[in-house]
Amino acid sequence: MQPRARGNKLAPMSSTPSKKRIGILTSGGDAQGMNAAVRAVTRTAIKNGAEVFAIMEGYQGMVDGGNGIRKLEWGDVSHILDRGGTVIGTFRSADFREKAGRLKAAANLLEHDIDRLIVIGGDGSLTGLNQFSIEWPELLEQLQSEGKISAKKVKAHPVLRFAGLVGSIDNDLVGTDMTIGADTALHRIISAIDDLSSTAASHQRTFVIEVMGRHCGYLALVSAIAGGCDYMLIPENPPEEGWEVEMCKTLAAGRAAGRRDSMVVVAEGAIDRKGNPITAEYVRSALENNLGEDARVTILGHVQRGGSPSAYDRWASSWLGYEAALAVLSDAPEDNGAVFGFRENRVARIPLTEAVEKTRSIPTLIEQGDYDKAMELRGGSFIEQVELFKELSTPQPAPPAKDAKRIGIVHVGGLAPGMNAAARAAVRLGLARSHVMLGIHGSLQGLAEGDVRELAWNEVEGWIDEGGAQLGLKRMVPNTEELYAIAKAIDDLHIDALLMIGGWNAYMSARLIQREREHYPSLRIPIMCVPATIDNNVPGSELSIGADTALNVIVEAIDRIKSSGASATRAFVVETMGRNCGYLALMASIATGAERVYLPEEGITLASLEADVEELRRTFENGRSLFLAIRSEHANPKYTTDFIARVFEQEGHGLYDVRQNILGHIQQGGSPTPFDRLLATRLIARALEELEEQFASEKAAVQYLGLSGGKIKVAPLSSMPDLIDPKTKLPLDQWWLELRKVTDALA
């Protein structure tokens, strides 16, 4: 409908609408998180005064026109965040590959005056998009010469502005760290591997698990590490000739060292050095022939594409969609044609042509047998993880030498899922590097009591997917008497270094130990703090072990809470943990589509609560049926969750009812996510390297490490005060607060 003028006269029909118009489509293989991106694009664009059209079934909707192009309103993208697949459909359109198809597509877009396009898809879809935009002027000229569009129309839409988002569960685009859908696919795979492990262990069985990845071994590699598997086969790094025997030896050694199950992960595109495919069935028969093992094959197939998106795929895709919408609405030439992806834990612009060229060269390199180059293109952390997997999965039944370094592993502070995965990685990698690994039971207080035991390779079996902390945990920072006893225990037990895994209290304890060195010389040993806290509030690491798991637990719980209110008219106030840090609350608000979030970083005022009540009343009166507010536990000491719920209820005067949910300790429990397992393993590997450097140079630095800009960085603990706000005790750089703008745009 065209706008009407005031008064009685109709406004003249304008051939160009006053608002910018965006088309959005999903193309190629579906990926969980595409819906979050569609929602974010739609809402960001509407908030910025534009109109959005869904192009159904990928490029085919553009080619077909008609009902294939539909206007999207704000409410059309409600309740899609938690859905798998893509609600606007996807398709591999053969028509769009032909110029004739693209000509029709251009005509159909122009019928709606759409000259801005956002495509979420793999490298194929994005290449098609690039081509379409280059061809645009030529297509319009042809349409005009055929009399299908007017010269005015051509003049009004001289360029096709576009932005792309990479959706691919394979995580195969060179130049991005994570593509939309890959994290959720890992969730599906790891859940299957965990389930298979328990039945395999009962019968002492071997499972061969095939995962997706025709040219990309990412899913296989990460799931082999995070699933605690024994052997892995990927396309980029084929095994040497005779690998069948080596594989069987590894599995047999694992069993001899105490494993009850054996798990082999095969990427669907796995090959040998001669380029022959290695199928899961071939692996099974190799195991049968060499070991006499009755192995079972499980092909995970499309399960990996299914189900509700993980928390990461929701918040990251929302952020990507937000940026893509702003870019495509901008008229600055430099904003046109951007492909957005995740690099170094931030949204980044990916040079499309280069990224696609590199991505497409990998299958060719694999075909040509240039595996080194294929691995190099996959990147440094991919190569590092292949090496890590080898170390983790090679059994070390022989005890370390007498003069080996003795490294104590201790958990300090609150519980974080992934602490066991970290301890397991420390034992496995430490033994592989010839150290004695000591489990300190019951935190630093346990150390003071001398409750320390050597851990063998097989003793950490099964720890990777376990919640809790097998070594025990205490929150307290040690007191003066305990410090004396700790110093004595370190001396008596000949502990050469400490790995302190935990949050704020672990770091405080390490600082205390460092300060007491002048009194107790035995405390002069290298110490490394490894960040593990669901609160994600320690400096030096953008993400700490456990935070991703807690976030997923929160998101899953809120999905249920929201669905419980589906047939009521209800407002929910949900409280998350996080202490003084609003990370969990803010990320959960994006991932669940909360209307309001209360953060300790911002506080709560009476005026803001009044405004919220007004908003509640106004929107419920206008037909809203569900409202979700998330409150971080320390957002305000007086305006508690209970208080807010009561205010909402009282001021609603029966318009809606209010329920409050304090999620509590479920956030610290449960099996760690694939991300937390991988993070734990990578941090520990780097921590051990650093301790080894300290041994070699006979130094005894007290340090901490963490993920920063996608890399693992180490810093002296003495630098910690420079990185925290003395008042709030929060890291000065809380990168995630940048996402406040995303919640504001989408809520």
Q: How far is the CB of 28 from ligand ADP (least distance, A)?
A: 2
- Residue 59 sits in the site that holds ligand ADP (CB under 6 A): yes
Q: CB nearer to ligand ADP: give 27 or 536.
A: 27
Alpha-carbon gap, residue 438 to 5, rounded angstroms = 80
Residue 357 has φ and ψ, to the nearest 5°, of -60, -50
Of 82, 170, 172, 465, catalytic: 170
Residue 98 has φ and ψ, to the nearest 5°, of -95, 150
Q: CB nearer to ligand ADP: give 62 or 423.
A: 62
Alpha-carbon gap, residue 257 to 263, rounded angstroms = 15
- Residue 170 sits in the site that holds ligand ADP (CB under 6 A): no
Question: Which residue from 124, 369, 400, 467 is in contact with ligand ADP, where contact means CB under 6 A?
Answer: 124
Question: Which residue from 21, 26, 27, 542 is in contact with ligand ADP, where contact means CB under 6 A?
Answer: 27
Q: How far is the CB of 566 from ligand ADP (least distance, A)?
A: 33
Q: CB nearer to ligand ADP: give 216 or 717.
A: 216
Q: How far is the CB of 133 from ligand ADP (least distance, A)?
A: 11
Q: What share of the chain is helix, strand, coil (3-state, %, to 5)?
A: 45, 15, 35
Alpha-carbon gap, residue 291 to 256, rounded angstroms = 13
Alpha-carbon gap, residue 736 to 747, rounded angstroms = 17
Q: CB nearer to ligand ADP: give 131 or 330.
A: 131
- Residue 68 sits in the site that holds ligand ADP (CB under 6 A): no
Q: How far is the CB of 610 from ligand ADP (least distance, A)?
A: 49
Residue 743 has φ and ψ, to the nearest 5°, of -60, -45
- Residue 28 sits in the site that holds ligand ADP (CB under 6 A): yes
- Residue 341 sits in the site that holds ligand ADP (CB under 6 A): no
Our answer to whether residue 261 is catalytic in this structure is no
- Residue 96 sits in the site that holds ligand ADP (CB under 6 A): yes
- Of all residues in the shown chain, the one whose CB is closest to ligand ADP is 124
Residues, the chain: 747
- Residue 92 sits in the site that holds ligand ADP (CB under 6 A): yes
- Residue 108 sits in the site that holds ligand ADP (CB under 6 A): no
Please count the residues of this chain forming the interface with ligand ADP, following the rule CB under 6 A: 17
Give the other-Cβ count within 10 Å of 89's Cβ. 18
Which CA distances in Å does 546 have to 142, 242, 421, 479, 604? Answer: 57, 40, 10, 27, 27
Alpha-carbon gap, residue 55 to 103, rounded angstroms = 16
DSSP label of 242: T
- Residue 537 sits in the site that holds ligand ADP (CB under 6 A): no
- Residue 29 sits in the site that holds ligand ADP (CB under 6 A): yes
Question: Which residue from 68, 121, 418, 502 is in contact with ligand ADP, where contact means CB under 6 A?
Answer: 121
Stretch that binds ligand ADP, among 90-98, 135-143, 421-429, 706-714 (CB under 6 A): 90-98
- Residue 181 sits in the site that holds ligand ADP (CB under 6 A): no
Alpha-carbon gap, residue 544 to 550, rounded angstroms = 11
Residues with Cβ < 8 Å from 202, sequence gap 6 or more?
260
Q: CB nearer to ligand ADP: give 166 or 678.
A: 166
Q: CB nearer to ligand ADP: give 28 or 593.
A: 28
Contact flags string 125-164 toward ligand ADP, x per CB under 6 A: x-xx--x---------------------------------
Q: How far is the CB of 246 from ligand ADP (least distance, A)?
A: 34
Stretch that binds ligand ADP, among 7-15, 26-34, 42-50, 254-262 (CB under 6 A): 26-34
DSSP string, 440-483: ETTHHHHHHTT-EEE--GGGGTT-TT--S-TT----PPP-HHHH
Of 41, 30, 273, 49, the closest CA to residue 163 belongs to 41
Q: Using an 8 Å Cβ cutoff, are 703 and 716 in contact?
A: yes
Q: CB nearer to ligand ADP: give 268 or 548.
A: 268
- Residue 123 sits in the site that holds ligand ADP (CB under 6 A): yes
Stretch that binds ligand ADP, among 89-97, 154-162, 206-214, 450-458 (CB under 6 A): 89-97
DSSP string, 313-339: HHHHHHHHHHHHHHHHH---GGGTTEE
CA 396 to chain centre: 32
Stretch that binds ligand ADP, among 92-100, 225-233, 658-666, 681-689 (CB under 6 A): 92-100
Element (H, E) at 171: none
Q: Using an 8 Å Cβ cutoff, are 96 and 63 in contact?
A: yes
| Identity of the residue numbered 55 | I
DSSP label of 13: P
Question: Which residue from 35, 93, 197, 673 is in contact with ligand ADP, where contact means CB under 6 A?
Answer: 93
Q: CB nearer to ligand ADP: give 123 or 548.
A: 123
Of 159, 206, 513, 171, the closest CA to residue 331 belongs to 159
Q: How far is the CB of 166 from ligand ADP (least distance, A)?
A: 9
Q: CB nearer to ligand ADP: give 122 or 462.
A: 122
Q: CB nearer to ligand ADP: give 93 or 223.
A: 93
- Sign, CA dihedral 183-185-190-195, equals positive
- Residue 729 sits in the site that holds ligand ADP (CB under 6 A): no
- What is the binding site for ligand ADP (CB under 6 A)? 27-29, 59, 92-93, 96-97, 121-125, 127-128, 131, 168
Which positions are catalytic? 170
